[in-house]
């Protein structure tokens, strides 16, 4: 989840649930993510691995746990690919609206399908130039949104804001929102840190990856957390520090683009919307590529059609697995569009399922940390056991809260995520030898990247 994508969309759903307590919800998610990241930091210091969920779970609990974590993560990747395809449509519409507010809108699925075709072509080639270009655009997008956040706060503090607002630090407090609602909203906030462990790649090529990878993991969570809380606070101030402002925040379709037009200029809004579209496309690329690698690994070792394990001789890429994952994500997007669901809701629906699967995957790794501490095999003192226990408690509590007394269709999503993860657990029980074999291969391959 790239920062610009997260800050453009994830605060909107939170504002709709908790009103003026958006920043506090992101603080809660920041704290919860920090407890989870602790486990990754500790284990990557001990094991020579690139920080993947399934490898760390496999090394601490066993290969079958690695398989289960990888299977849960596959559910995250596929639904996340579908949600980012919808996000591409959201940002393209935001760009078109900023360009011409009176322009006729096209069916959003056209933008999503175009993004899917482009993602398929890019992943077939696996161009380093494309990856670096999209990364650079993502970094530029972060700079653009930080500038916007600064401008909002300066104008609000000097009375030059286009709405009635104030730099009110009480926005960082929970207010009178019930705890259950705050934790429900934290699912959307937690999505902003989804995939934080992928930043371990920044430390893979260094002379001392066991030091560099944990630093990259911890720095990513803390750095993003500070940026996210700052940007959420800025957006709350930008729309207005009152309940009316929170309602305007919740009603927006691309909050940063809208605020850019309000506080800076139409041209700045266009630039930000373009950067957001490219970042959403980059997220589609990365999630489909990651999912295809897992599908390839599963098929190679006996789970799924053997054809999905075929490697293209020229590129070395499992193109059939890439095509299958991309097509699945596109079909998921088409299903919601055909059912009359808008792009923004499609993003949130699939994002929620993705996060719920991710909660299970992260809980598996965090449980591995606890097992490792209790085993006494490492140098981690026993008192630190409280940290992964808190992390697991946060993950379980958020999943349970999301499962109880939620309005439709959000009440269905925990069952969907649970069903997917139970399939993975069923495979572990019904075919333990295959699960072990696949888990061992996943662990070996992750170690080769560290």
pLDDT higher than 80, residue 446: no
The CA-based dihedral angle spanning residues 367, 182, 195, 246, taken in that order and rounded to the nearest 10 degrees: -170
| Per-residue confidence band for 116, with pLDDT thresholds at 50, 70 and 90 | very high
User: Averaged over 99-111, what is the pLDDT?
Assistant: 85
pLDDT higher than 90, residue 79: yes
Q: Residue 3, Cβ neighbours under 10 Å: how many?
A: 20
The pLDDT tens digits of the residues spanning 340-364 come to: 999 999 999 999 999 999 999 999 9
pLDDT score for 356: 93
**Any idea which of 11-20, 54-63, 171-180 has the lowest mean pLDDT?**
54-63
Cα gap 131→123, rounded to integer Å: 10
pLDDT score for 38: 87
pLDDT score for 428: 92
- Burial class of residue 353 (count of CB atoms within 10 Å of its CB; 0-12, 13-18, 19+): buried
Residue pair 43/37 in contact by the 8 Å Cβ criterion: no
Q: Residue 222, Cβ neighbours under 10 Å: how many?
A: 14
Cα gap 261→121, rounded to integer Å: 34
| Per-residue confidence band for 120, with pLDDT thresholds at 50, 70 and 90 | very high
Over the chain, what is the mean pLDDT?
87
Cα gap 72→56, rounded to integer Å: 14
Query: Greatest CA separation found in the chain?
Result: 67
User: Averaged over 89-115, what is the pLDDT?
Assistant: 88
- Per the model's pLDDT, the better-predicted residue between 257 and 202 turns out to be 257
pLDDT higher than 80, residue 54: no
| Per-residue confidence band for 48, with pLDDT thresholds at 50, 70 and 90 | low
| Per-residue confidence band for 367, with pLDDT thresholds at 50, 70 and 90 | very high
pLDDT score for 150: 97
Burial 32-50 (b: 16+ CB within 10 A, else e): bbbbbbbbbbbbbbbbebb
The pLDDT tens digits of the residues spanning 162-207 come to: 999 999 999 999 888 888 888 888 888 888 888 777 765 555 555 5
Question: First-to-last CA distance in the chain?
Answer: 22
| Per-residue confidence band for 379, with pLDDT thresholds at 50, 70 and 90 | confident
- Burial class of residue 166 (count of CB atoms within 10 Å of its CB; 0-12, 13-18, 19+): middle
pLDDT higher than 70, residue 50: no
pLDDT higher than 90, residue 401: no
User: Averaged over 140-144, what is the pLDDT?
Assistant: 91
| Per-residue confidence band for 83, with pLDDT thresholds at 50, 70 and 90 | very high
As for how many domains the chain has, the answer is 1
| Per-residue confidence band for 416, with pLDDT thresholds at 50, 70 and 90 | very high
pLDDT score for 129: 63
- Per the model's pLDDT, the better-predicted residue between 306 and 279 turns out to be 279
Provide the phi-psi class of 206: left if phi over 0, else alpha when psi is between -120 and 50, else beta: beta
pLDDT score for 299: 85
Give start and end residues of each alpha helix (H) in 168-254. Answer: 179-190, 209-239, 243-251
Phi, psi of 51 (to 5 degrees): 90, 15
Tokens of 414: 């925990």
CA distances from 401 to 178, 208, 391 (A): 12, 41, 15
pLDDT score for 429: 93
- Residues of the chain above pLDDT 70, percent: 93
Q: At CA 267, angle to CA 261 and CA 273, rounded to 5?
A: 70
pLDDT score for 345: 94
Nearest CA to 75 out of 353, 311, 346, 427 is that of 353
Nearest CA to 399 out of 364, 357, 368 is that of 357
- Per the model's pLDDT, the better-predicted residue between 376 and 239 turns out to be 239
pTM of the complete model: 0.88
Residue pair 234/149 in contact by the 8 Å Cβ criterion: yes
CATH label of the domain that carries residue 142:
1.20.1740.10
pLDDT higher than 70, residue 127: no
- Per the model's pLDDT, the better-predicted residue between 199 and 109 turns out to be 109
Residues of the domain holding 393: 3-448
pLDDT higher than 90, residue 103: no
**Any idea which of 54-63, 105-114, 137-146, 325-334 has the lowest mean pLDDT?**
54-63
pLDDT higher than 60, residue 51: no
User: Averaged over 27-55, what is the pLDDT?
Assistant: 80
pLDDT higher than 60, residue 250: yes
| Per-residue confidence band for 130, with pLDDT thresholds at 50, 70 and 90 | low
**Any idea which of 130-144, 161-175, 317-331, 354-368 has the lowest mean pLDDT?**
130-144
């Amino acid at each position: 989840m790239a920062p610009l994508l997260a800050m453009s969309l994830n605060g909107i759903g939170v504002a709709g649930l908790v009103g003026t307590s958006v920043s506090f919800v992101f603080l809660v998610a920041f704290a919860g993510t920090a407890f989870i990241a602790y486990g990754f930091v500790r284990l990557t210091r001990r094991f020579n691995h690139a920080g993947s969920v399934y490898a760390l779970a496999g090394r601490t609990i066993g290969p079958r746990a690695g398989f289960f974590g990888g299977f849960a993560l596959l559910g995250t990747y596929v639904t996340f690919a579908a949600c980012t395809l919808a996000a591409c449509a959201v940002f393209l519409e935001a760009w078109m609206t900023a360009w011409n507010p009176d322009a006729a809108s096209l069916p959003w699925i056209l933008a999503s399908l175009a993004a899917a075709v482009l993602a398929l072509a890019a992943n077939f080639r696996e161009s380093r130039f494309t990856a670096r270009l999209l990364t650079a655009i993502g970094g530029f997008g972060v700079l653009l949104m930080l500038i916007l956040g600064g401008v909002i706060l300066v104008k609000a503090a000097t009375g030059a804001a286009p709405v009635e607002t104030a730099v009110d630090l009480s926005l960082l407090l929970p207010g009178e929102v019930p705890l259950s609602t705050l934790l429900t909203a934290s699912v959307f906030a937690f999505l902003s840190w989804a995939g934080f462990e992928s930043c371990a790649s920044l430390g893979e090529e260094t002379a001392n990856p066991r030091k560099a990878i944990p630093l990259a993991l911890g720095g990513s969570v803390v750095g993003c957390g500070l940026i996210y809380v700052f940007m959420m606070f800025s957006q709350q101030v930008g729309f207005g520090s009152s309940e009316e402002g929170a309602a305007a925040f919740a009603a927006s379709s691309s909050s940063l683009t809208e605020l850019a037009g309000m506080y800076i200029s139409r041209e700045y809004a266009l630039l930000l919307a373009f950067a957001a579209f490219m970042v959403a496309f980059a997220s589609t690329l990365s999630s489909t590529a990651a999912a295809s690698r897992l599908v390839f690994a599963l098929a190679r070792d006996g789970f799924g059609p053997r054809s999905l394990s075929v490697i293209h001789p020229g590129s070395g890429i499992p193109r059939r697995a890439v095509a299958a994952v991309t097509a699945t994500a596109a079909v998921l997007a088409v299903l919601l569009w055909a059912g009359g669901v808008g792009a923004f809701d499609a993003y949130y629906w699939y994002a929620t399922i993705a996060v719920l699967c991710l909660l299970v995957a992260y809980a598996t790794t965090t449980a591995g940390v606890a097992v490792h501490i209790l085993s006494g095999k490492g140098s981690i003192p026993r008192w630190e056991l409280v940290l992964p226990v808190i992390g697991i408690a946060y993950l379980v509590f958020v999943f349970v809260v999301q499962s109880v007394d939620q309005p439709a269709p959000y009440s269905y999503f925990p069952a969907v995520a649970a069903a997917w993860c139970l399939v993975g657990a069923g495979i572990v029980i019904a075919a333990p030898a295959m699960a072990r074999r696949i888990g061992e291969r996943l662990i070996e391959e992750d170690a080769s990247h560290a």
